[in-house]
Structure 1
Amino acid sequence: MDTELTVPTATEWDSWFGCLELAFGGTPLSPEAREMYAALDTPDRSLGHRDGGEWVGTAAAHAFRVAVPGGAVVPAAGVTAVSVAATHRRQGLLTAMMRRQLDDVRSWGEPIAVLTASEPGIYGRFGYGAASGELDLRIDTSQVRLAVPPGTDGVQIRYASPVEALDSCEAVYGRLAPGRPGTPLRRPGWERLPVIDPPARRQGGSPLQCVLARRDGEVTGYATFHVRAAGDHAGPQGTVAVRDLAALDPASYAALWRFLFGIDLTSTVECRNRPVDDAVLHLVSDVRRCEVRPRDGLYVRLVEAGAALEARRYRAPVDLVLDVEDAFCPWNAGRWRLTADAKGAASCRRTGDPADLALSVRELGAAYLGGVSLTSLASAGLVRESRAGAVEAASLAFSTDVQPWCPHGF
């Protein structure tokens, strides 16, 4: 079956997006969400397959800046809207879109591409590695208590309109983002994403609620959430479903959690997508009653390996030759000498010297944000050591104190 791989025009965006919605089950996005994505999508960063007059495949790449270890912010392609119509599977459409897209990303000068995967098994063959994790929590607040740090009682928690508080919340997010690898620094327009509140997203809960934390008159944190009422003959058993929570200091952070734990007529706090090193795990009295469920988070693809490896900082001085396998983007394949000084500043250049480590670009992407250990990958046979001690040195250099996390999809 012949299809055409092309860029949709502005007038074709609705039909192109309709193809995406059908591939993801046929339930349309809310008008508010659709309007936001229509405004944020850049036509020349989208593409798709057309069979006659019908769109049968879609893919897009937002222009992002993503935090990497050391506090630097790297231009990145935020890959999204990837779909192939059920009628056109196994015909090479996805591979063709991924090939074209990575060529485009390279031409745009963005050294990495990132995505969150609806199906994790898809993207490894295109060089994406799972670089961060996330946790889903379901906490029995009738049994679990919080041990809060000094200063928590000095934090004021007050309700606010989610929309009216948007600037305050975004200011907190903007201050925190560079310190957490994998976090996108939101461009104008993306701040609307956290407050889009269609009834379907509430899952039977209340409209979106928001509280702000303040210390000495300054907004130091926020939480947004829904409340789902429930109960039986034994009494109320409602659930607080947390959407977002962030704070600038430990006391404000603990105060927000304490507020959520104490909402009347509820006995459960649940939240999706928290960082794997979330401090709340150290505040709770019984982590076993928190039903902690890990899952994969952000996937990273090095589009320009040398530029990407130079852009981040390293935890320890290192001098390694990496032999990189990359059949899908062959310009990355071969040996690279990665050096970093005591301050973490790096250089990565082509070399003819013998390799110390051999690995695929997928494993390099997985380790890039510091959340996946090269030692662990080597134990799985995915990183091969040619010089004794090279895996240990590389694993230390790539590691980071703060675990990577992407707090929202795109």
Structure 2
Amino acid sequence: MTMDMRVLRPLEWDDWFRHLEVAFGGEAEPAEAREFYRDMTEPERSLGVWDGEACVGSASAFSFRLAVPGGALVPAAGVTMVGVAPTHRRRGVLTSLMRRQLDDVRAGGEPLAVLTASDPAIYGRFGYGAATYSLSVEVDTTRVRLAVPPEADGIRLRLVDPEEALGACEKVYAALLAVRPGMPARLPGWERQGVLDPASGRGGRAPLACVLAERADGEVVGYARYQVNPEWDMSGSAGSVEVRDLDALDPAAYAALWRYVFDIDLVWTVKAHKRPVDDPLLHLVSDVRRSAPRVRDQLHVRLVDVGAALAARVYGSPVDVVFEVTDAFCPWNEGRWRLTGDAKGASCVRTGDAADLALSVTELGAAYLGGVTLASLGGAGRVVERRAGALVEASRGFAGDVAPWLPHGF
């Protein structure tokens, strides 16, 4: 039977989403999470491949605005819910979905597409490059201490209901967008993701808790959301706490929140995932080794419109460089582009001038947010220097003061 690709019809959502669950192993999402994703799905941006009455392929996109170096919020397609049925793999289904989706993104005027990859090896062939990385820690608090600034003592901490505190937490998050590239501006509804707490998904952990950090005048300057996992053995308590989110507007509030987490009674291990790789926590702990830091890829970036994307961000030092770009999957990007820019702004236009650097769109995506240097890609042979000094110039311009960060999945 001929397979049919079409835009998702709202009444097909259940079958479409169940296909996705099967593609990722078969376990059903908790009802609370399922309803969240039903509400956030944009049917007009969702594709399904059908073989008769069976959905055998899917891809969708959320309409995001992504923080880029300089603080601008750039339209970006948040690629999500990509899956192919086990019965229909190796038949071009994924390639056809990626082809249609990127064509649609381009037609909609979004210069970027971004995703988190279940398997990073899959998406490089479609032009996505790993642009942000995340840090995980598992701290043994019996052997690791925190050194917090004295200003932390002036921060008031207050336990609150996580849902009732959503508004205050979102204001803190929004204020950080200008500081951290890679963070998506949360459209209405997305704030609910941070407080999803289905009982069936707790795995023995206590319900989600939230603590606010406030200045003396009552202004909220930070928050932490976490879950305690109470455990006991023959020697007594052996509990842990898992930090889901911890954001703050200044070092005092940041340190006060971490001190609070470290000091929770009957807890001897602090776990945190999806932290920025330059998290200041690494400079508060007395022993980084016993904090067990681990790093993995997080956000993958695809430049759909090279000129518009490179012109949308700023550059830490002046750049004037001609890129020769290859892009087999989106050939409209191929050719030579002159990027000129500095900390005030940039332009990127087609040119016939000789190339200074040669690379593919995948390397541009990896370096776009400033966390992966062009120089390191050059060291791997993935960027070729054709004008002496051009690689250092461009690499310095692209690099940022802070590591880009994606705080949550989508």
Is TM more than 0.5 here? yes
Contact 2:208 2:227 in 1 (8 A): yes
Q: Give the superposition deviation at 1:43.
A: 1.0
Output aligned runs, 1:232-251, within 5 Å. Answer: 232-251=233-252
Aligned residues: 409
Q: Distance in 2 between matches of 1:204 and 1:45?
A: 37
| Matched AA of 1:157 | L
Q: What whole-Å deviation, never above 9, does each CA across 1:31-59 have from its counterpart, x for those lacking one?
A: 22221211111111000210001100010
1:134 aligns with 2:134: yes
Q: Distance in 2 between matches of 1:201 and 1:364?
A: 38
| Matched AA of 2:229 | R
Q: Which runs of 5+ in 2 are unaligned?
A: none
| Matched AA of 2:197 | D
Q: What whole-Å deviation, never above 9, does each CA across 1:150-178 have from its counterpart, x for those lacking one?
A: 21011111110001111111111111122
What is the match of residue 274 of structure 1?
275
What is the match of residue 86 of structure 1?
86
Contact 1:111 1:307 in 2 (8 A): yes
Contact 1:5 1:49 in 2 (8 A): yes
Q: Distance in 1 between matches of 2:176 and 2:251?
A: 13
Residue 331 of structure 1: SS of its match in structure 2?
A: helix
Q: Which runs of 5+ in 1 are unaligned?
A: none
Contact 1:66 1:181 in 2 (8 A): yes
1:77 aligns with 2:77: yes
Q: Which runs of 4+ in 1 moved over 3 A?
A: none
Q: Give the superposition deviation at 1:200.
A: 4.0
What is the match of residue 167 of structure 1?
167
Residue 122 of structure 1: SS of its match in structure 2?
A: helix
Contact 1:316 1:344 in 2 (8 A): no
Residue 90 of structure 2: SS of its match in structure 1?
A: coil
Q: Give the superposition deviation at 1:374.
A: 0.5
Contact 1:64 1:184 in 2 (8 A): yes
Q: Give the superposition deviation at 1:14.
A: 1.1
Output aligned runs, 1:95-174, within 5 Å. Answer: 95-174=95-174
What is the match of residue 363 of structure 1?
363
Q: Distance in 1 between matches of 2:201 and 2:118?
A: 17
Residue 151 of structure 1: SS of its match in structure 2?
A: helix
Residue 120 of structure 2: SS of its match in structure 1?
A: coil
What is the match of residue 310 of structure 2?
309
Q: Distance in 1 between matches of 2:393 and 2:18?
A: 49
Q: Distance in 1 between matches of 2:269 and 2:318?
A: 46
| Matched AA of 2:380 | A
Q: Distance in 2 between matches of 1:108 and 1:193?
A: 26
What is the match of residue 212 of structure 2?
212
What is the match of residue 223 of structure 1?
224
| Matched AA of 1:277 | D
Residue 113 of structure 1: SS of its match in structure 2?
A: strand
Q: What whole-Å deviation, never above 9, does each CA across 1:106-153 have from its counterpart, x for those lacking one?
A: 011110000011111110000000001001110001110000012101
What is the match of residue 400 of structure 2?
400
| Matched AA of 1:102 | L
Residue 222 of structure 1: SS of its match in structure 2?
A: strand
Q: Give the superposition deviation at 1:344.
A: 3.6
Q: Distance in 2 between matches of 1:50 and 1:311?
A: 38
What is the match of residue 352 of structure 2?
352
| Matched AA of 1:359 | L
What is the match of residue 55 of structure 1?
55
Q: What whole-Å deviation, never above 9, does each CA across 1:193-223 have from its counterpart, x for those lacking one?
A: 0001013432220011111111121111111
| Matched AA of 1:90 | R
Contact 2:30 2:201 in 1 (8 A): no
Q: Distance in 2 between matches of 1:78 and 1:188?
A: 15
Q: Give the superposition deviation at 1:232.
A: 1.7
Q: Distance in 2 between matches of 1:69 and 1:150?
A: 32
Output aligned runs, 1:168-207, within 5 Å. Answer: 168-207=168-207
Q: Distance in 2 between matches of 1:8 and 1:121?
A: 27
What is the match of residue 7 of structure 1?
7
Contact 1:178 1:185 in 2 (8 A): no
TM-score normalised to structure 1 length:
0.98
Contact 1:315 1:344 in 2 (8 A): no
What is the match of residue 378 of structure 1?
378
Q: Give the superposition deviation at 1:67.
A: 0.2
Residue 80 of structure 2: SS of its match in structure 1?
A: strand
Identity of aligned residues (%): 62
